[in-house]
Amino acid sequence: MVQQHRIYVVQFDKGEPDQEELSCKASPPKGGGRRIMYYYHDYGTGGGAGKNGKPAKSRALSLSGFFGLLLICLFGLATLLAAPGAFFSFARTGGAAATAAATQQRQSERCSGIGNDTLCCDRSSRRADMCFARGDLRMHSASASFQLVSSAGRPAEEERIRPYTRKWEAHVMKTIDEVRFRRVPPGEAARCDVRHDMPAVLLSTGGFTGNVYHEFNDGLLPMFVTAGHLQRRVVLVILEYHDWWMTKYGDVVSRLSAFPPIDFTADRRVHCFPEVIAGLRIHGELTVDPARTPEGRSIRDFRRLLDDAYRPRINYLERMERKAARKQRRASKHPAAPAERPKLVIVSRTGSRVIENEEELKAVAADVGFDVRVVRPERSTEMCKIYRDLNASDAMVGVHGAAMTHFLFMRPGKVFIQVVPLGTDWAANEYYGEPAARLGLRYVGYKILPEESSLAREYPAGHPVLTDPAGVAQRGWDVTKKVYLDRQNVRLDLARFREELVAAHRYLVAGKRKGRPKTKPLAI
């Protein structure tokens, strides 16, 4: 049977291991040889192009189209004569809508409906290139390429791609391995060692991998957007593969693919696929746009995937804790059940942007009525343990930085308070504030005053570093990073910050009294 696939390419607008049990072991798919149909639909906006990113050829207007255009022109002329102002208003609004519709139509034609033995790349997005190939595709890591085996006489064709989602950052993209897609005749094709009856998705875990924000924003979320609807019948082919990355995120990866990922560089076997998708779609900062996904999925669907990924391990940890708690209660003569208090997690930092009076903050939060827990994420911290803490929390407090990515682990309806140091207003809102609101959290951005910054001890009062961070930022990213990110700590005005904690506590308690709908904690 011939496998029929239709592919639509999405374009985006700029936005800017102890006891860890992995569940990504290979298991043979049911119904061997079954073919699947999968679709990508374009709901975005952008310029149009045809195959290989070249402009699509214009088509001659049909006779009916000509008369339709003539009627529109006559209507426009009559409107202009009767009411010029109304006409130009119509031209502004209707013209913009028509342009958007035409743009979307052109965009939907890019790489859409490609047939067998076809290679097509979309390079129109500022964030990421994507290539699609269908036919007899063979992974040949020795030559850093995929071979598209074609009948003799087909013209030579080659495309190159660096499958990473920060295309606009040239200095980073230079570090990403490049892969070629080459059309070759049967006589030059590598012999298949492993045959797959499902598509492959090629991606890189290089670049900024190692920073939790980039691991989610540039990797896991785009993986979900690109392959989430394939119901785990997809093979992930990974450039710059890291064992530690799989140890850290294997639970999540196993919810996207039922098969072991392939280390493109180390695995020298020739893997053969009916289709390869090279590169990942990205919708923006820590977000999933339902309008740009095949099934209308959102960031909440990604969070449900995290629930599914971490539930088995968390259930095991909680069983062990309940067992220990029962022993402790039996040993105690007067066991007392703790009062129910909203749970607040302080995400603690080391190095820079540290809360210098963190212990005092804990005391104030407890006095307000919170059950306080401090979490200090480290590279070696088991991810599901962080997920468990935040999934069970009612509020989260932390200073702007990569660790704020963990707001993704909170349940919608809870409170996220981000401390915003001097010079970080835009980034704090763009990267974490707005995405948190889209997840359904109650977001509070606490902007510190100059006297709450450690920079007030380094610069005199009235210095531009304290009074005009936006102006300082105009000197360039290096200055911003050096001054505001690498050398700044915060000492919270606890009287002022207490007001935010009181408001959050009231909101959470009122929500429980009113029975505000919320996502339940992980089932045990």
pLDDT in tens, 45-74: 333 333 333 333 333 334 444 444 455 445
When pLDDT is cut at 50, 70 and 90, the band that residue 191 belongs to is very high
Q: What pLDDT was estimated at residue 325?
A: 73
Q: What pLDDT was estimated at residue 239?
A: 97
pTM as predicted: 0.76
- Kindly give the pairing relationship between strand 235-239 and strand 262-263: parallel
Mean pLDDT throughout 413-417? Answer: 98
With a cut of 50, say whether residue 159 has pLDDT above it.
yes
With a cut of 70, say whether residue 416 has pLDDT above it.
yes
Question: Residues with Cβ < 8 Å from 15, sequence gap 6 or more?
Answer: 283, 284, 285, 287, 430
Per-residue pLDDT tens over the stretch 94-117: 343 333 333 333 333 477 667 789
Q: Is the Cβ–Cβ distance between 441 and 415 less than 8 Å? A: yes
Q: What pLDDT was estimated at residue 113?
A: 65
Burial classification of residue 494, based on how many CB atoms lie within 10 Å of its CB (0-12 exposed, 13-18 middle, 19 or more buried): middle
Average pLDDT, the chain: 80
| Apex 249 CA angle, 245 and 254, nearest 5 | 120
Per-residue pLDDT tens over the stretch 429-451: 999 999 999 999 999 999 999 99
Q: Is the Cβ–Cβ distance between 419 and 448 less than 8 Å? A: yes
Topology given in CATH for the domain delimited by 343-515: Rossmann fold (3.40.50)
When pLDDT is cut at 50, 70 and 90, the band that residue 203 belongs to is very high
Mean pLDDT throughout 353-382? Answer: 94
Per-residue pLDDT tens over the stretch 247-287: 999 999 999 999 999 999 999 999 999 999 999 999 999 99
With a cut of 60, say whether residue 401 has pLDDT above it.
yes
Q: What pLDDT was estimated at residue 304?
A: 95
Q: What pLDDT was estimated at residue 101?
A: 32
- The better pLDDT of the pair 209, 522 is held by 209
Question: Residues with Cβ < 8 Å from 222, sequence gap 6 or more?
Answer: 128, 165, 203, 280, 281, 282
Integer Cα distance of 227 and 221 in angstroms: 10
**C-alpha 429, offset from chain centre:** 16
When pLDDT is cut at 50, 70 and 90, the band that residue 515 belongs to is low
Q: What pLDDT was estimated at residue 319?
A: 82
Integer Cα distance of 131 and 181 in angstroms: 9
Q: Is the Cβ–Cβ distance between 431 and 459 less than 8 Å? A: no
Tokens read off for 72: 């529109």
When pLDDT is cut at 50, 70 and 90, the band that residue 220 belongs to is very high
Mean pLDDT throughout 347-369? Answer: 97
With a cut of 70, say whether residue 236 has pLDDT above it.
yes
Residue intervals in the chain for CATH 3.40.50:
343-515
Q: What pLDDT was estimated at residue 80?
A: 39
Q: What pLDDT was estimated at residue 4?
A: 32
**Percent of the chain scored above 90 by pLDDT?**
66
